[in-house]
A and B are shown apart, each in its own frame.
Chain A
Amino acid sequence: MNSRLVVKPNLCIGCRTCELACSFTHTVDGKPGRSRIFMLDGGYDKLWVTVTCLQCDDPACVKSCLVDALRRNEVTGAIELNQEKCVKCMACVAACPFGCAILDSGHNQVVKCDLCGGDPACARFCPTKALEYQPIAQTQKAKKVG
C-alpha cells in the first residue's frame, strides 16, 4: 500500500465528474446513482465534500462479514468485496459507520470503493485535483508542513 486517495473539499466545485467516472468504470450504464463515491453538501456556502470508503485500518464491514467476502487487498490497501462470495445479508451496509458500503439496487449487488485496483478513475478525472491519489510519503509530508 503506497498511495491513498486524498480528498480536498476546498478545491471541489461540485461537478460530480467523480461520480460519473466511478459509475462508468464499474457499471455498463454509468448512472451516477450507481457510483461508489458521493458528492455531498458540506453544509457551508460553496463547499462540497466527496465521500467514499475510507479503507479503515479496523474496518467494521470486514468484521461484520460472516462469509469472508470482504478482504483487504494488500497491494492497494483497498478493502475489496468478492461478489461471488457475497450473500447480500447487508451486514456491511448496516455496519459501516460512514455509509460507504451501499446496495446497488439496480444490479442487486452490494458495492464499495475498491480504488479501481490501484488507479482510481475519480481522481484521474477530477478537473480541480480535489481528489488525488497520492503516494503516502507525500501525504505525510503535507501533513507535517500544514
Chain B
Amino acid sequence: MATVNITINGRVVRAEKGEMLLDVIRREGIEIPATCAHKAVEAFGACRLCTVEITKDDWKGWKNYVTSCLYPVEAGLIVFTHSQPVIDLRKTLLDLQLARHPNTPLIQEMAAQYGVNKTSYEELPDADDCILCALCTRVCDTMGFAAISTVGRGHGKKVAPPLDQPPPACVGCLACAQVCPTNFIKFTQAGAHREIWGKAFDMITCTRCGKAVITKEFAENLSANRNIPREYFDVCDDCHRKELAGTMGRIANWNREEVTR
C-alpha cells in the first residue's frame, strides 16, 4: 500500500493510504476516547466519541467532522483531534451518555475527563450499563456464531439473543462478556458448569485433573470447522505441559543413560 503524509495537530505523520484515521492517531500516541472500537472487529462508528475535525488545503476553509474509526486516510488530510468544536461535541455526547448511564464507571470516568461530572439532562431512572456499542454482537458475528444481536430501535434497543430465548448458536466462549467495556454481560461459572444468555453449558473436564477446559459446544465447533483433533480438548493446559515435560524427560533420561553406559 502507498504511504501518504497527513497532518495531525500540526505534526506531519506518515500513514498507509486507506488505513483508518483512528489507528493512525492512536499509533502517534494521541489519546482520544472511543468505546466501540476493537481491533478484532471492523469499525462501527457507534459511540461517535472518536470524532475529529478534518480539512484539506484545497477545501477553501471548509471543514468536516468525521468518526476517525471509519475514515480512511488520504494524502494531504489535516486533522485536529482536540479543537474546541470537537471537545464540545464529545462533551455533549458524554453528557447524553451520562444521562442514560449515570452509574456506569466507564462513562463517569470518560465524562469527568471532559469536565462533565453530572449530566445536564434528566437521568434515566432504571438505567443499566449497556452502552449499545455492539462490540459483543460484532465479536460474535466475526467469530462466526452470530448468537446475539441488537434488538429493536430507539429507546427500547438492547442486545439480546433471538426472541430472548437461550441462543441455539451460542457456544459459551464468553468472548462477548470479555470484550464488553462496561462488564454488563453477566455469566456464571461454577466448576464445569457455565451459564450465559440463559443457556447452560456442560464443560469438558480434564481427564487427568478434572479442571474445566472448554465447553463441549465450542470444542466440537473448533474440531469440525478448524480441523483441530477433538482429543486436544480432553486435557487441560497444565496437564498438557506436564505430559510434554514427561516425554522430554524420558528422552533426556535415555540420553543420560546412553552417555554413562
Give chain A's interface residues, CB within 8 Å of chain B.
Answer: 7-10, 38, 40-44, 47, 49, 51, 60, 63-64, 66-69, 82, 84-91, 93-102
Contact = CB atoms under 8 A, between A and B. Distances in A.
User: Interface on chain A toward B: helix, strand, loop, or mixed SS?
Assistant: loop
A60 B240 CA distance: 13
23 contacts: A7-B248, A9-B252, A42-B252, A43-B249, A44-B252, A49-B244, A49-B249, A51-B248, A66-B143, A66-B144, A67-B40, A67-B139, A84-B38, A84-B40, A87-B139, A87-B179, A88-B175, A88-B179, A89-B178, A93-B237, A94-B218, A97-B240, A102-B237
B248 A95 contact: no
Contact of B233 (A8, A40, A66, A94): A94
Interface of B: 38-41, 139, 142-144, 173-175, 178-179, 213-214, 218-219, 222, 226-229, 232-233, 235-246, 248-250, 252-253, 255-256
A99 B40 contact: no
Pairs A-B, 3 closest by C-beta atoms: A42-B249, A99-B240, A99-B237
Given A10-B256, A85-B40, A86-B40, 4 more contacts: A9-B252, A67-B143, A90-B173, A100-B241
A93 B252 CA distance: 27
B142 A99 contact: no
B143 A98 contact: no
Nearest to A108: B178
Given A42-B246, A47-B256, A98 B142 contact: no
B244 A88 contact: no
Given A60-B232, A69-B40, A51 B245 contact: yes
A47 B252 contact: yes
A96 B214 CA distance: 12
Main secondary structure of the interface of B (DSSP, over half): helix
A39 to B, nearest CB: 9
Nearest to B204: A94
Contacts of A51: 241, 244-245, 248
B39 A84 contact: yes
Nearest to B249: A42
Contact of A42 (B38, B143, B232, B248): B248
Contacts, number: 129
B240 A98 contact: yes
Given A49-B249, A91-B173, A67 B142 contact: yes
A99 B238 contact: yes
A40 B173 contact: no
Most A Cβ at <10 Å: residue of B222, B227, B237:
B237
A94 B214 CA distance: 6
A69 B38 CA distance: 12
Contact of B239 (A67, A89, A99): A99
Given A10-B255, A60-B232, A47 B241 contact: no
Nearest to B136: A87
B247 to A, nearest CB: 9
Contact of A40 (B143, B175, B245): B245
Contact of A97 (B173, B222, B232): B232
Contact of A95 (B175, B228, B238): B228
B179 to A, nearest CB: 5
B213 to A, nearest CB: 5
Contact of A89 (B175, B233, B241): B175
